[in-house]
A and B are shown apart, each in its own frame.
Chain A
Amino acid sequence: MLLSNFLLALLVALGGPLGGDGRGPGDTERQSFPALREDSSDTYTESIPNTLVEFDMVRVPGGSVTVDGKEQTVETFWMAAMEVRWEAFDTYRLDEDMEDLEDAEADAISLPSKPYGFGNEIPGFGQEKYPALAVTRNAAQQYARWLSAKTGHTYRLPTPAEWKHACRLGYGTPQNWSSDRIGEHAWYKGNADDEAHPAAALPPNELGIYDQLGNAAEHVVPPEAGEDDPSEVWGGSYLSSAGDVHCSARQQKTPAWQESDPQLPKSQWWLSDAPFVGFRVVRGAGS
């Protein structure tokens, strides 16, 4: 494998989940992961085999939530404590050795193209610890399929109902989520300085989930979504005003998200003009 040595070198420095407020790509100081909850059965740590990448999953108790005026039941599920970070996404993106995949579907998993840089419209921010940004829904879904094949656990993107329900449990209702408290848990226009920030640099919410509001706006996929339906991201981002960072905040993909992609066809993997878009994975309780 062409890049194995490089990947190893990249990942040796990481050693699993990192918290704290380390900034900048050169900062490889090991940080201890803040305790999530006393009750450890509410969390588990997933490791991607043959890499040093690990990430924590948090149990989200079931309940009901209203989306688009319809009340929906949400079964208990697991949600990643952090947005997917570059070090995880890159192990997929640069995986030239798919042979250790057991999943029959693995044959159908494709690897992302490599973007021709990010022009002035997309700042790169940083690599280690930073959320993977400017990824299309397709890229996020392919990553989840790859991750499922690698780990044997079925990971996918959250539905809008799951995402919103977890958000409500974690942050409470809008009544106690006011603009003077928003900066405690979320990177948004008021505190982010126009930049994305490393995952888990701000304290987690009540569920032990980081950055669900703000930082990267996160892909959701309705169960019935077709490939041609425009993708949606929820929760607002580091660019959003305080009023646009809440559990029902949604943005629909527009052509503007790829306006300055100079290639035709436009990339299926990268959003040249939407650096505020990222994602996190979930897993059904029984999968």
Chain B
Amino acid sequence: MSTEHEQHNTDPLGGITRRDFVKRGTVATAGVSALMASGNFAYAGGTDTIRLGLVGCGGRGTGAANDCYRSSDGIELVAMGDLFQDRMEESKEQLKKRLGDSFKVTSDRTFLGFDAYEKVLQTDLDLVIFATPPAFRPQHLRAAIESGTNVFMEKPVAVDPAGIRSVMESAEMAEDKGLAIVAGTQRRHDPAYRAAMKRIHDGAIGEVKTAQVYWNQGGLWHHEREPGMSDMEWQVRNWLYFTWLSGDHIVEQHVHNIDVANWALQAHPVKALGVGGRQVRTDPSYGHIFDHFGIEFQYESGARVYSMCRQQEGTPSRVGEHIIGTKGTSDGHSTIDGATNWTYEGEDVNPYVQEHADLVASIREGEPLNEGQRVAESVLTAIMGREAAYTGQEITWEEVLNADLDLGPDSHEFGSLPIPDVPAPGQTTLNRGAKTNASSADA
């Protein structure tokens, strides 16, 4: 057992392994920073104030703002934006409680509406958090980089090839302007994952030949449609279930595990073949997305990664990765078995806080982290898998990267918005073009 197990023996959680226990608010110390490619110290020691804005005040956005505040000294929240008054009020109440004097959001820096992001960016900010539904991310990211603001953005960072191309351009622009972009693929900031991946990259399991990645679980929340709700409002409040908003669950959720496969292989795949469908969650209140996918990703090296994700009520959950090389295997974060055996025995760190610690430290040290291109590639990997399942065809990287596929409506406004059919393999095509607003359609 690891050393930190021994120090838990006096704890009410005695006997719990590292996998089940995360220290409250721990931020990694210099021992981990040695692993960081950028050479950042993981703990942001500076005290120069970072003025933070939040766009997207749901549970995750609110959590992210709190994680950022906990990660480093000198964080002040100064502006907030959302579509909905109710989400805004709940978020404010939570954050006031936790941030105390660092909560500096006044009523004239509280913005509602589709243009709230512009108004948040017009306040004097150092850093902005984007945690709206993914559909809006490319537009928000572009505006932030153009206005010279550092960005933390939740995954996924786009839902379609048009969005991915935009994110890749913004990432390049951030590089030129010296701005930081960190994305919410928090495993990349988890010292256990970092330690395992460093060993895998150094050959601890030989050449990586294959991996299996999973996100299987039960169903997720959805909100009833209330009288008078427009199509747009109902869809945005139930954003998980519409591909134009979420990218479908393979993109919205399973991207975490797909990102780990790309990390292990230090590449993105060159093609995908897949199956999927809508088997249990068939009611129209669940939009038109699939409830399961099974994808094979092929890489340039010949490696193949098998991906499985499912959201079906009453089924057991499995979330994780299994990486197989010529000399051994790894779970990607805690253990390596084979020619060499290894178990992570370092500190347990909350990666949701650590990602902000790394981001803030990189800004303060003038060596901004920029994860934009990398996260865009992982999200495009998931989109390629989705499209392989939607169309029933083998889809190549070049095809999906360059596809004429822009799923969002022409304009963002509360009004009628028809729901596309459930995709049909063998009939649905990759180059479906842009969906137009059918404003005259029945609500």
Contact = CB atoms under 8 A, between A and B. Distances in A.
Interface of A is mostly: loop
A6 B63 contact: no
Contact of B20 (A7, A114, A127, A276): A276
B20 A275 contact: yes
A259 B350 contact: yes
B22 A118 contact: no
Contacts, number: 124
Contact of B63 (A25, A120, A251, A264): A264
Most buried by A among B15, B62, B94: B15
A262 B314 contact: no
Contacts of B91: 264
B319 A120 contact: yes
Given A259-B350, A262-B63, A241 B15 contact: yes
17 contacts: A6-B313, A10-B314, A94-B313, A117-B317, A117-B319, A118-B317, A120-B187, A122-B319, A123-B317, A124-B317, A239-B15, A239-B20, A241-B15, A254-B13, A255-B24, A263-B60, A264-B66
Contacts of A10: 314
B316 A124 contact: yes
B22 A3 contact: no
B313 A3 contact: yes
B283 to A, nearest CB: 5
Interface of B: 12-17, 19-24, 59-60, 62-67, 90-91, 94-95, 98, 187, 215-221, 253, 280, 283, 285, 313-320, 333, 350-352
Interface string A13-35: 00000000000010000000000
B12 to A, nearest CB: 5
Contacts of B62: 263-265
B22 A273 contact: yes
Nearest to A241: B15
Interface in A32-70: none
Interface in A178-235: 189, 194
Contacts of A2: 283, 285
B68 to A, nearest CB: 12
Contacts of A263: 59-60, 62-63
Contacts of B59: 262-265
A110 interface: no
A113 interface: yes
Given A6-B313, A254-B12, 16 more contacts: A90-B313, A94-B314, A115-B217, A120-B320, A121-B20, A123-B318, A124-B316, A189-B15, A240-B14, A244-B15, A259-B22, A259-B350, A263-B60, A264-B98, A265-B59, A276-B16
